[in-house]
Each structure stands twice: as structure tokens, then as C-alpha cells.
Structure 1
Amino acid sequence: MTQHSSLSASDDGATRAAIYRASLLYFIGDPALDPAALQWHEDGALHVRDGRIVDVGSASEVLARVTSDGDGGVSAVAAAPAIHDWRGRIVMPGFIDTHLHFPQTEMIGSPAPGLLPWLEHYTFPTERAFEDSAHAQTIADVFIDELLRNGTTTAMVYCSVHPQSVDALFEVCAARDLRMIAGKVMMDRHCPPWLSDTAERGAQESEALIARWHNKQRLAYAITPRFAPTSTSAQLAVAGALAKQYPDTYIQSHVAENRDEVAWVKELFPTARSYLNVYDQVGLLRERAMYGHCIYLDDDDRARMAETGAAAAVCPTSNLFLGSGLFDFEKAQRSGMPITLATDVGGGTSFSMLATMNEAYKVARMGGYYLDATRMFYLSTLGAARALHLEGQVGSLAVGNEADFIVVDRHATPLLSRRTDRCTSVDETLFALAMLGDDRAIAATFSHGRCVHRRD
């Protein structure tokens, strides 16, 4: 007998097969290039088995296939999928946050007149505590709880300079079976001595972490020079050598976030054509490379990112909070460079990708560009997955993908409910969610088919 339940019913993910009936939203392409890229089923069904998506579409079609095929060919009565009736809510892929700092969780919302003094007075002192493995483990749990509460199922994360901070984060992610990317910060100058490594030790510790964690379960390692000013040329060179030796690892760093920072890089690397070129010279521009901010790039820089496949993590919330500047969405799109959206916690003031979309829209408008809702949701799901070479694994509800998805409640608050009840199109509904939504709109978060967060 097929079981039916509501969202409030117990579902710890132990069911091998389940069908989730709701409105479905996902992408099969970039809506800026293909108007048919957005897939919407007002009354849809998502069929999940053993942590993967085995069917998706209109509820009538998916339920008919289960009835006729017996759960895709599984004839045992015990394998009949439970049906969770969530009509009135939206099921969509989990969000992908491409740039944030796990050691900065507790210092989020710290005041400073700009990026560089913010690093000196808050960031570096806070990160010192992560030499303590127990502290790192505690904050890792808090950090992951916040991501999941906000509907983020995959993130690209900066740890501290301490290898044990990476171990702590990956241990928490492995225990919860999450798809995450992270790396140990490398910095051997212009930082407190108690946070400094050396070119040699930074490379050795990074390589050991690659061996320990990269491609284990659903985890991946990111080679992580913090940013050019805190790494000597020697350290950047060894980071580039690691990237060449381990081509399926990721690379993450910061570039062109703040005018004072850009001027500082020019002093430190006078022969480089640009800030971005500092990384390019040592082999750190390639596919699977993600650079935070990218505000003060020129046309040659953007063309080089498009050519190499390196992507920008656009961080509107932190850029506004720290007064860094406004990302140019129009020039980025014209260049063809890959872009994504990111929270940049703790410079960013929210773990919510919905809040991040809110700020991205406003930043774009200040630059004379209209960033529509469908593209913002694309950049936070399939667009991010493509930039990270994770398409076919996460970022979509396509058959074969890992079942990382969220349940969005468009009636989570009285104001959101009143607004969405009056929406006349999918784009208008998504726009209302981006402008008015936050963690309260995330009714549940699923990773690999298991419920890892449910809002009371």
C-alpha cells in the first residue's frame, strides 16, 4: 500500500524510495541564453531512490509510471515509494554558495571602515582560535547547521591556516553526507606570525589534506592561497604547482575586491599586468578555479577568465557591507566569463542565498543592469554547478542527479504569503521570494535523499 504523508510527518531519509509532490522548479540551461531553460511543474513530482533522482515531471505522469512500472522495475511491495504531498510548496535544487569563510561564523556583522582594517581587527584574531581542534569542531557544526537552515546544500569554503580546521569541517560534512568543497588557507606574509605558514609547509599541509579528503565520499579539496598580498611569489608558485599536479582539485582565492587592495597588489607585484595576472602567471587560472569578488577587473581580465574557465563568485552582500564596490553584471555577461552568487560570510551578513539575490538585484540596478529572478536562481543552482564542474551531480532536479533539494514555503511569512498569492507568473513568484524571503522560507533541506533540516 502506498504511504502518503505531509511535510510534518516523520521522514529521516531512511525510506529507500520516496515521491515528493509539489510545484517543481529547476533549470536545464542558462535562462539568459534560452527562454525554455526554466522547468516548472505546477503540480509536479520528484521520485527519489537510494539518494538519487530517478524520475521527475508532472505528478500525473510520474505517479502513472510508478503504478505501471512498480518503482522503476522494483516489484517488491516493500519497495513501494512513500508519497509526500507538499502541494502549495516549491521543490527546487539546493542552493550552491561558491564563496564563504567558516572560521568567520562568529564574527559576522563586525564593524570596520573597510576590508583591510576589518581583516586586521576581526578576521585574523578570530581565526587564531582554530588551532584548537575542539573549537573548530564546534564552529563547524554551527556553520553547517546555518547552511542547511538556509537551504544551501553545497558550498565552497575557506577554512583557517590550520589543517585541523579543514579536518573538523570535512568530518562534519562526511558524517552528514554532504557535497562540500573546502581548503586550508595558505598565507606566509602580511599576517600575524601565529597565522603564518611558509611556502613549503603550506604546500605540504595542503597536499596531505588532498590525500586525506579529496574525492572522499562527496568531498573535494580547494587549493586556497588567501589572496595575493598574503602570499609570497614562492607560495603562489607552489600553489600553482599543486594545481597542476592535482588537476581535479579546486582553486579558490580573492581578486580585485577593494581599491586599496588592488593598489597594494600593484606595489607588491609591479611586473604583473593586473591583479588577476598575478594568479595567471603561476598557473592558478583554470577550470575549477573560483575567484571571489572580481569587481575591479578590466576587459582583458574578463576575457582571460572566459578563456580559462575560471569563475567569479559575486558577493554583493559583503561588497556593500564593506563598501568595496559594485560588480558589473553587464560587462561580465558580455565577456562570457562564468559567474556565480555567494554569501561571503562573515563579510557577508547572511547565510541566506535568497538575501544574497536581494542584494545582487540592487547592485545590478545601481549599475544600470536588470538581473531578473530566473537568472538569480539559475546562478545559485545549475549555474554554480556548471562553474564547479558538478553538473549532472547537483544543481538540478534532472534524472540521475544526487537528490540534494529544498522545499520552499512561499507562505512562510504573512507578507510573503500575501505577495506570492498575487503573483501571476513563475518569474514574479521567484522575484518575491528573492526580495522577501530568508531562512524562514526554507521548510526543509535534503542532501543525498535524506532530510538534514526541517523548519519547525
Structure 2
Amino acid sequence: MADTTLLLGQTLSFRADPFAAGVAESAVHVRHGGVALRDGLIQETGTADELRARHPGATVRDYGDGLITAGFIDAHAHFPQTAMIASWGKRLIDWLNTYTFPEEMRFADATYAAEIAARYFDLVLANGTTTVCSFCTIHPESVDAYFSEAQARGLRMLGGKTCMDRNAPEGLRDTPQSAYDDSKALLEKWHGAGRLSYVITPRFSPTSTPEQLAAMGALWAEHPDCLMQTHLSEQVDEVAWARSLFPEARDYLDTYECHGLLGAGAVFGHAIHLEPRERARLKEADASLVHCPTSNTFIGSGLFDMDGLMREGQRIGLATDTGGGSSFSMLRTMAAAYEVAQLRGRALHPAELYWLATQGAARALRLDHRIGNLAPGIEADLVVLDLASTPAIAQRSTRANDIWEALFPTIMMGDDRAVSAVWAGGRCVQPAASAG
């Protein structure tokens, strides 16, 4: 058995959903707190004095005023788009054809795929993200590169081979049968290997024939312990395109539902332009929706209805959607979620934003029993934030009257400079210069 490690500093955890229970009943802040880690798990939390007394022989990392929380969870991303993030001037369909598809064709090269996977994990860890649910490309090489790199680093990661057999360049199309066969082989190879989870991944219904969607539905039915991820109602013209390709469908969601791709464990990115029937069915099916605010504003998609969907009791997480999203940082993503909600007349509380980026995203990925919080038995994936990482943030946070006023400037203005340390599986994977 490994020795106990104590991380000391301020701590922030959640005992409930702040959207449902309110901030006072849901969030727990300990000014002089700590977390005890052993064997890759959180053993206990408490005050610094309590933990020091109970673990006299422990290795201690004292982060002073640093804020220790669960690591960030990015519930929808495209790691193959790393190199073409922040590409100018296109809306969704033109953006895919101009930037995304040419870049994704390069992932047939296993060496290139491995290079980008390593760069991607360097970037997300530097920004405090410890778990991602990513689309790969149609190439099995891209999936192998993503999971191999994650496994070597001991990270909890989710991903899957993107499947599409129409409305894409020849070098990025598979078939219903090859999509099924490749996905099944990759699933059997990677799902449950260490901290890895395979996700069945049709890109979106406009790039899959009914036959391919049915094949993905069949695979999911055979492996219901896997998640299924795709895109839904991101832009108005995309919704119209999907409806034109599936004239018998009641709406965009029905293009998935009629092929067995709606249910608990379905994870739909974007979900901006939803019809009333779709909202009702998503709630009834207990599917997950993932808000991607920097992408939605960058590509001009629209404003996600966080307040209305949360009031309905939808299961919602938060994500960067890199490279359609314009940042690898979940801090920047929280800031954008705040701005989008403001445009819809609702000021999200810092506790709500932080919950979305941790426990909410874990819940959307059906992993809130394993990651996304500070609690005994939860995997020790943690981030330590410096709440005075820049002069601008420091001068604002010194005026704070409580943890939320201290944290909010970092949410709105913070970047990788705010990340003092990152722990994954109980190991420090991002060095902390300020640790004692």
C-alpha cells in the first residue's frame, strides 16, 4: 500500500447540485483544508489540522492559499483539431470543409496522430483538465494514439472513432460495416483498459447514412455500458440540413432515436436549437447535453438555454469543443458560459459554473461516482488554483468578501498561469512551483 499524501490549502467541494439545491446547501469551502490521497484515491477531506493529526507520517504538499478542487472535466472535444484551433471566419459546415476535414485526413498517419495526442494532453493538463471525452477521426490510428498517450500518463479519458460515410471527403469516409467493425475492435481493445472508456461516436446524422446510424445503434445495444456521443442542433442551417436528409424524421433528435441512438448514456454536444418535443424526449430518456460556449460564440451557433434546460431537470455538462471552441481552458469556458447566460438574462453563480466544469460534467459522462469532486473514494484527479495569478486578478481578489468573490476573477480572467498544480490518479502530473 502506498503512503498517504496530504495536499493542504483551501478546498472546494460539492454535496449537491447548486442549480437544484442552491449555493449555500451545495458547496463546501474550507479555508484551511486539505485532502488525503492514497492508492490513487481520495481517502478523506477535512481541515489541515485534522488531517495532519490523523496522518502524522504523511508526505505533505502545502499549497498555502491555493484552492484545491476536483480537476476539470471537458465533456466534448475533438483532439484531432488541436493544430487548427482558432481558424478564422467560417460557420459550421464551411468550417468543417475548409479546416477540419483536411486536418483530420492527416490522422491516417500513426506518427502524426501520436504527435498531436501528446501535444493535446500537454495543453489540457497545463490548463487543469484531467478528463476529456473526445471525438477522434475515422482512423483507428487516431484512437490508438489518443488512448495510448492517456494510458501512459495514467489519465481517465474517454473517446471513440468518429464514424461518417457521406457528406465528407473520400479520405474521411468509412462504411456502415467498417464503422461497426472498427468501432467494435477498438472498443474491445480499449474500453475498461486502466482508466479508459470507449465511446461510440457517429459524428452527426448529416454525415452518416441511415444504415450507418443503425449499425452504431446496434453496437450500442450490444455494449450498453459504453457511452454514445454525437452532435445535435448546433446551428439553424445544420438543423435544416439534417431534416432534409431524413424527411421521415419528426425532428433532428428523431434521426438518432429511430436508429437506437437515444437513451441513458447518450451525450449530445451543443443542443442549442431544440424543439419542445426534443427537450421532453431528452429529459425522459435521461440523455446528457453538453454546453460548448466558446465554440457556440466563435462559430456563431447561438445561445444555449442553460437556465431553461436546468429548470427542466436536464443532465448538463460543460466543454471546450476544441478546435471549434477557441480555448483549451475550462476557466475560459466557464467565463464564456457566464457571458452566454447573461445574454439570455441569467447570471450564473460562480458555484454553478464550477460545478458544471467538475461534478456536472462528470455526471453528464456518468462518472460522478468516480471523478469530479473531493470526497472519500473518488479518484484523486485534482487541480490547485492560484487565485492571484496575475496582477489584474490579484488586485480584484484582494477585495473579496468570500470565496466566490475570490474565485470569480480567476474564472473570468484566468488562464494556465492560474494552474499551480495538477494531480491525476494520485500523482502530481503538472509541477507546482509554489508547493512546499
TM-score (norm 2): 0.97
How far residue 384 of structure 1 moved from its aligned partner, in angstroms, is 1.3
How far residue 330 of structure 1 moved from its aligned partner, in angstroms, is 2.0
Counterpart residue number, 2:36:
47
8 A contact 2:317–2:363 mirrored in 1 = no
Q: How far apart, CA to CA, are the structure 1 residues paired with 2:278 and 2:138?
A: 28
Residue 414 (structure 1) aligned to one of 391, 397, 406: 391
Provide Cα deviations, 1:89-141, integer angstroms capped at 9, x if missing partner.
Answer: 10000000001101100000111331110000100000010000000000000
How far residue 454 of structure 1 moved from its aligned partner, in angstroms, is 2.2
Q: How far apart, CA to CA, are the structure 2 residues paired with 1:439 and 1:227?
A: 32
Q: How far apart, CA to CA, are the structure 1 residues paired with 2:150 and 2:423?
A: 14
Once the two structures are superposed, the pairs formed by residues 83-98 of structure 1 within 5 Å of their partners are 83-98=60-75
Once the two structures are superposed, the pairs formed by residues 26-425 of structure 1 within 5 Å of their partners are 26-34=13-21, 35-67=24-56, 80-425=57-402
Q: How far apart, CA to CA, are the structure 2 residues paired with 1:362 and 1:167?
A: 37
1:351 aligned counterpart, secondary structure: coil
Q: How far apart, CA to CA, are the structure 1 residues paired with 2:207 and 2:216?
A: 13
Code of the residue aligned with 2:386 in structure 1: it is D
Q: How far apart, CA to CA, are the structure 1 residues paired with 2:274 and 2:432?
A: 41
Q: How far apart, CA to CA, are the structure 1 residues paired with 2:134 and 2:90?
A: 25
How far residue 455 of structure 1 moved from its aligned partner, in angstroms, is 5.5
Code of the residue aligned with 1:147 in structure 2: it is V
Code of the residue aligned with 2:242 in structure 1: it is V
8 A contact 1:303–1:336 mirrored in 2 = no
Q: How far apart, CA to CA, are the structure 1 residues paired with 2:3 and 2:39?
A: 5
How far residue 334 of structure 1 moved from its aligned partner, in angstroms, is 2.1
Q: How far apart, CA to CA, are the structure 2 residues paired with 1:345 and 1:228?
A: 20
Provide Cα deviations, 1:267-313, integer angstroms capped at 9, x if missing partner.
Answer: 00111111111111112112222111000002221121111121111
Q: How far apart, CA to CA, are the structure 1 residues paired with 2:114 and 2:396?
A: 41
Displaced runs of 4+ in structure 1, greater than 6 A?
none
Code of the residue aligned with 1:284 in structure 2: it is L
8 A contact 1:354–1:435 mirrored in 2 = yes
Counterpart residue number, 1:73:
none
Q: How far apart, CA to CA, are the structure 2 residues paired with 1:313 and 1:186?
A: 20
Compute the RMSD of aligned alpha carbons.
Answer: 1.2
Q: How far apart, CA to CA, are the structure 2 residues paired with 1:112 and 1:253?
A: 24
Q: Which moved more, 1:83-92 or 1:173-182?
A: 83-92
8 A contact 2:303–2:340 mirrored in 1 = yes
Structure 2, unpaired ranges of 5+:
none
Residue 409 (structure 2) aligned to one of 432, 441, 448: 432
How far residue 406 of structure 1 moved from its aligned partner, in angstroms, is 0.6
Residue 9 (structure 2) aligned to one of 19, 22, 25: 22
Q: How far apart, CA to CA, are the structure 2 residues paired with 1:15 and 1:218?
A: 19
Q: How far apart, CA to CA, are the structure 2 residues paired with 1:205 and 1:217?
A: 21
2:351 aligned counterpart, secondary structure: helix
8 A contact 1:299–1:335 mirrored in 2 = no
Q: How far apart, CA to CA, are the structure 2 residues paired with 1:146 and 1:455?
A: 16
Q: How far apart, CA to CA, are the structure 2 residues paired with 1:404 and 1:28?
A: 17
8 A contact 2:232–2:271 mirrored in 1 = yes
8 A contact 1:303–1:337 mirrored in 2 = no
Q: Kindly, what percent of the aligned residue pairs are identical?
A: 45
Code of the residue aligned with 1:193 in structure 2: it is E
How far residue 16 of structure 1 moved from its aligned partner, in angstroms, is 3.3
Code of the residue aligned with 2:372 in structure 1: it is G
How far residue 15 of structure 1 moved from its aligned partner, in angstroms, is 6.9
8 A contact 2:232–2:269 mirrored in 1 = yes
Provide Cα deviations, 1:208-235, integer angstroms capped at 9, x if missing partner.
Answer: 0000000110000010000110000000
Structure 1, unpaired ranges of 5+:
1-13, 68-79
8 A contact 1:23–1:43 mirrored in 2 = yes
User: For this pair of structures, how many residues does the alignment match?
Assistant: 431
Provide Cα deviations, 1:237-287, integer angstroms capped at 9, x if missing partner.
Answer: 011111110011111100100111011011001111111111111121122
How far residue 439 of structure 1 moved from its aligned partner, in angstroms, is 1.1
How far residue 429 of structure 1 moved from its aligned partner, in angstroms, is 2.0
